[in-house]
């Protein structure tokens, strides 16, 4: 099996599995307990907290462990704005539902979406015209989960500083963390959400990194864990597994070269192939996501055909792909219906090999040759 | 004293000399339905009884879904010789109720020392006097009826839960249902099965145009249906090659119709193999282009067995209501593409001409395609 749906989730790396297994067998103590063995677990958690803050350049920032990206986004948005009764929140049209729906859930506040450019990045001009003093929060993802477009975070923060300096800037880093460098200080982001299972860690773990401007209120009440921001006994196997996955993530990797190779091969086999998103070799394209349409073969058909040939890929975002409609990201980019209906998402990981990419391209080409004459007319 | 479920049957009453056959089948169906609840099921004196189950609510849920059952009553069984105890139990049975009531005795044991009106009066009086004002008597329009059936034992019950009705599955022959992932075909299957017909299902699978989720959806629908009919066999027939061939060689506006004719041909072969006497489809006149009367005639023409279409005169909204009632609607609405819609032409023929159909089909290797599809069908027993 060739797995190229790493933006949906990743295989947990062996190092993380080992640490989690040890944590469940031997280090299962409640980190809030007062004996030494529990304190050792707590110390390990704190070490991971510091490492994460350092990785995203937010030293002294607050790192709250959550159940994953969705909770981190919800905490950043609902937790920061729970006291506000009027104002606007802005989110990019391609945001994950975890951000979009959280923005819409804010009572009394207007949630507005910021359009995207043709290449999938944020339309800064449109954003600038939307910014005014009543904007409380801007939420823009680091990397779009469907197209791999890297968002111009620094430019967004600059606009914020100029036009509504009090607004918070939340960045959903679920698709970017470790694959695209993040510097919260330099980009001016106030909060950053990340998820463990996209970087070869376990599911059910994630974190929100919050800078000094953010005042968070808890969404879950109870025993007061995580500095009273996230009650509930800590998911220590998940957190330790995530920590190990972060350490083990191969910072030097071949993803961008292989992604470009995949595109080159696909274009060679299917001259009508179209990239949805920035050019694969462009800097504003994440190294691991390639969104391609091979019209007229529909996404589902190609996905099933490749599955039949042992290649697993994504169509749209896995979290929303049971809703059969054109993705909001692609429609905001102005991608036509026919192209959008045949969009495929190949997402790589640091362990993807050249041979896998060659085989995948070859099989996609063969499936295309077989299927393209037989499409709804 | 023991608690049990008293099961009443409906239309079987109308049967004459062959009533025992229908009853025997119904008992077998009830038995299958409660098998894993470890209950005992028996027929006695025109009633079916279920006793010894641990989870009575689940037992009620299952037995009310058995075709042939008219209604079920959670009842208490008492010895006849201690009438005082029967009265005391009657009061217990009525304890949860408030308002008006009456007692309705049925005295099948003609040797019992009281006649029905006396039983009514005696038990009614006892319950009224001891109900501490919760109940009053109204013999004309009571809110609650306490039934007292005097047979070998006495049975007391006040709650009658309506069941699905119909005839026991297996008494009405066997048919093959063409099951897509849509709303209609499961309802059609349900309606035919309700008349006592054993079902198998035939589903056409167009991988890679439809995927594993669409296939699972159909199996989920079949599973819901099978809960009414105590199990069902599903044939998943690979259909892609036929569809591709039709798409490549036949006129655009005829592809759906020709595809449906192949579905019928294949279904008939499978039906005969499975000793079915008829095909069942979810078609309704005029619902879509392939369901105009002209189109239906052209699909009927390729098979030599009856095609039952129980929804033929139903509006879509009625079918949806029925699907909601039988519990298939939500699954049917999952958005995966199904085999019927993969190559839908923009303007399908609604008044098809037979010459054009035959001309199109003439270009296909029908025999080989059909034989191959049947041979490669996957069989799943639910």
Specify whether the CB–CB gap between A285 and A277 falls below 8 A.
yes
Residues of B in contact with A366 (CB under 8 A): none
Q: What are the pLDDT digits (tens) for A70-83?
A: 999 999 999 999 88
C-alpha dihedral, B363 to B366 to B368 to B374, nearest 10°: 150
Å from B106 to nearest chain A CA?
56
pLDDT higher than 70, residue B340: no
Residues in chain A: 377
Please tell me which residue of chain B has the smallest CA distance to A322: B335
Q: Where are the beta strands (DSSP E) in chain A?
A: 2-4, 62-66, 88-92, 110-114, 135-139, 168-172, 191-195, 206-210, 274-275, 289-293, 311-313, 343-347
A319 catalytic residue (yes or no): yes
Q: Considering only alpha carbons, which residue of chain B is nearest residue A300? A: B209
Show the beta-strand stretches assigned E in A302-342.
Answer: 311-313
**Tens digits of residue pLDDT in B205-246:** 999 988 888 899 999 999 999 988 878 999 999 999 999 999
pLDDT band at A319 (very low <50, low <70, confident <90, very high): very low
Residue pair A193/A216 in contact (Cβ under 8 Å)? The answer is no
Residues A13, A58, A84, A319: which is the catalytic one?
A319
The closest CB to that of B211, out of A300, A371, A374, belongs to: A300
pLDDT tens digits along B95-135 = 999 999 999 999 999 999 999 999 999 999 999 999 998 99
Write the residue in A301, A308, A323 that is nearest to B335 by C-beta.
Answer: A323
Helix (H, G, I), strand (E, B) or coil at B236: strand
Q: Which residue of A has its CA nearest to B245?
A: A374
- Residue A318 — pLDDT band, cuts 50, 70, 90? very low
- pLDDT tier at A320, thresholds 50, 70, 90: very low
Percent of chain B residues topping a pLDDT of 90: 76
Band of residue B17 on the pLDDT scale cut at 50, 70, 90: confident
The secondary structure element, H or E, covering residue A51 is helix A36-55
Assess A307–B contact: CB distance below 8 Å, yes or no.
yes
pLDDT single digits (tens) A339-354: 999 999 999 999 999 9
Residue A324's pLDDT band (cuts 50, 70, 90): low
Cα–Cα distance between A163 and A66 in angstroms, integer? 32
pLDDT for residue B302 is more than 80: yes
**Averaged pLDDT, A88-96:** 97
Cβ contacts of B211 on chain A, cutoff 8 Å:
300, 303-304, 307
ipTM above 0.85, yes or no: no
Mean pLDDT of chain A: 94
Dist. CA B74–CA B53, nearest whole Å: 12
- On the question of pLDDT at B341 being above 80, the answer is no
Q: Is the pLDDT of residue A322 over 50?
A: no
Q: Domain B174-381 is of which CATH architecture?
A: 3-Layer(aba) Sandwich (3.40)
Let me know the angle formed at the C-alpha of A114 by A111 and A117, rounded to the nearest 5 degrees: 165
| For residue B27, pLDDT beyond 50 | yes
Contact present, B148 and B155 (Cβ < 8 Å): yes
Give which of A294, A297, A299, A304 to mutate to test B binding, by max B Cβ within 10 Å.
A304
Instruction: Please report residues of A whose CB lies closer than 8 A to that of B208.
Output: 301-305, 307-308, 367, 371
Note whether A300 contacts B: Cβ–Cβ < 8 A. Answer: yes
> Tokens for A153?
């975070």
CB A241 within 8 A of CB A93: no
For CATH 3.30.2130.30, the residue range(s) in chain B are 2-162
Number of C-beta neighbours around residue B282 at 10 A: 25
Unique residue bearing structure tokens 């470009």: A260
pLDDT given at position A316: 65
Task: Give the distance from residue B317's alpha carbon to the nearest chain A alpha carbon, in angstroms.
Answer: 23
Which residues of chain B form CATH 3.40.50.620? Answer: 174-381
**Which domains does chain A carry?**
2-9+252-371 (3.90.1150.10), 14-248 (3.40.640.10)
Is there a contact between B207 and A308 if contact means CB atoms under 8 Å apart?
yes
First to last CA, chain A: 33
Interchain proximity B248–A376, CB inside 8 Å: no
Domain covering B2-162, topology:
VC0802-like (3.30.2130)
Nearest to B211 among A304, A371, A373 (CB): A304
ω into B208 cis (within 30 of 0): yes
For residue B32, report the phi and psi dihedrals to the nearest 5 degrees: -60, -40
**Averaged pLDDT for residues A83-95:** 94
pLDDT of amino acid A83: 85
The confidence score (pLDDT) of residue A75 equals 97
Cα dihedral B309, B314, B320, B324 in deg (nearest 10): -70
pLDDT of residue B14: 81
State the Cα–Cα distance between residues B290 and B298, nearest whole angstrom: 10
Put simply, whether B333 touches A (Cβ < 8 Å) is no
């Amino acid at each position: 099996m060739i797995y190229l749906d790493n933006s949906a989730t990743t295989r947990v790396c062996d190092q993380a599995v080992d640490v989690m297994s040890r944590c469940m067998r031997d280090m299962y103590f409640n980190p809030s307990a007062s004996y030494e063995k529990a304190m050792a677990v707590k110390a390990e958690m704190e070490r991971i907290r510091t490492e994460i803050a350092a990785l995203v350049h937010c030293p002294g920032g607050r790192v709250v462990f959550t159940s994953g990206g969705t909770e981190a986004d919800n905490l950043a948005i609902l937790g920061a704005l729970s006291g506000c009764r009027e104002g606007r929140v802005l989110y990019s049209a391609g945001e994950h539902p975890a951000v979009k729906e959280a923005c819409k859930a804010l009572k009394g506040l207007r949630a507005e979406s910021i359009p995207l450019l043709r290449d999938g990045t944020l339309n800064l001009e449109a954003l600038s015209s939307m910014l005014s003093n009543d904007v409380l929060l801007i939420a823009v993802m680091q990397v779009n989960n469907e197209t791999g477009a890297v968002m111009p975070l620094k430019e967004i923060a600059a606009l914020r500083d100029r036009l509504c300096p009090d607004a918070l800037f939340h960045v959903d880093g679920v698709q970017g963390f470790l694959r695209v460098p993040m510097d919260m200080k330099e980009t001016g982001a106030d909060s950053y959400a990340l998820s463990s299972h996209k970087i070869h860690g376990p599911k059910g773990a994630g974190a929100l990194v919050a800078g000094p401007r953010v005042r968070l209120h808890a969404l879950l009440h109870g025993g007061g864990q995580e500095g009273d921001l996230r009650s509930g006994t800590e998911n220590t196997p998940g957190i330790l597994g995530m920590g190990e996955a972060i350490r083990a993530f191969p910072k030097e990797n071949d993803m961008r070269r292989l992604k470009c190779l995949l595109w080159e091969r696909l274009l060679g086999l299917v001259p009508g192939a179209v990239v949805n998103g920035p050019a694969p070799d462009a800097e504003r394209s994440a190294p691991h996501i390639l969104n391609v349409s091979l019209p007229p073969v529909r996404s589902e058909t190609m996905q099933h055909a490749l599955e039949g040939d042992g290649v697993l890929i994504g169509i749209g975002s896995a979290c929303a792909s049971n809703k059969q409609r054109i993705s909001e990201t692609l429609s905001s980019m102005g991608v036509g219906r026919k192209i959008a209906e045949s969009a495929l998402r190949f997402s790589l990981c640091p362990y993807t090999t050249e041979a896998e990419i060659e085989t995948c391209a070859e099989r996609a080409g063969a499936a295309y040759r077989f299927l393209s004459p037989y499409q709804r007319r | 004293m023991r608690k049990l479920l008293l099961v009443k049957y409906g239309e079987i009453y109308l049967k004459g000399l062959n009533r025992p056959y229908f009853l025997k089948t119904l008992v077998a169906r009830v038995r299958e339905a409660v098998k894993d609840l470890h209950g005992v099921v028996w027929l006695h004196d025109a009633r079916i009884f279920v006793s010894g189950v641990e989870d009575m609510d689940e037992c009620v849920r299952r037995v009310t879904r058995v075709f042939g059952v008219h209604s079920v009553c959670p009842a208490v069984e008492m010895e006849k010789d201690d009438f005082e105890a029967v009265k005391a139990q009657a009061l217990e049975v009525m304890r949860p109720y408030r308002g008006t009531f009456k007692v309705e005795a049925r005295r099948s044991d003609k040797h019992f020392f009281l006649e029905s009106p006396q039983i009514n009066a005696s038990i009614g009086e006892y319950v009224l006097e001891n109900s501490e004002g919760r109940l009053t008597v109204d013999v004309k329009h009571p809110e609650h009826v306490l039934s007292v059936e005097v047979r070998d034992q006495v049975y007391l019950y006040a709650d009658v839960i309506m069941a699905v009705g119909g005839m026991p599955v297996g008494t009405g022959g066997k048919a093959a249902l063409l099951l897509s992932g849509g709303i209609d075909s499961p309802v059609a299957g349900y309606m035919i099965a309700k008349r006592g017909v054993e079902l198998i299902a035939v589903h056409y699978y167009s991988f890679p145009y439809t995927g594993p989720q669409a296939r699972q959806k159909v199996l989920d629908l079949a599973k819901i249906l099978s809960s009414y009919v105590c199990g069902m066999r599903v044939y998943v027939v690979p259909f892609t090659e036929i569809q591709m061939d039709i798409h490549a060689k036949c006129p655009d506006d005829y592809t759906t119709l020709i595809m449906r004719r192949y579905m019928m041909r294949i279904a008939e072969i499978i039906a005969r193999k499975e000793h079915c006497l008829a095909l069942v489809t979810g078609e309704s006149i005029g619902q879509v282009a392939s369901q105009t009367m002209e189109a239906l005639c052209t699909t009927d023409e390729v098979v030599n067995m009856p095609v039952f279409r129980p929804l033929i005169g139903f509006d879509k909204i009625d079918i949806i209501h029925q699907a909601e009632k039988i519990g298939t609607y939500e699954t049917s609405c999952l958005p995966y593409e199904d085999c019927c819609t993969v190559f839908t032409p923009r303007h399908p023929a609604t008044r098809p001409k037979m010459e054009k159909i035959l001309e199109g089909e003439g270009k296909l290797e029908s025999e080989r395609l059909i034989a191959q599809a049947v041979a490669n069908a996957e069989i799943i027993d639910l």
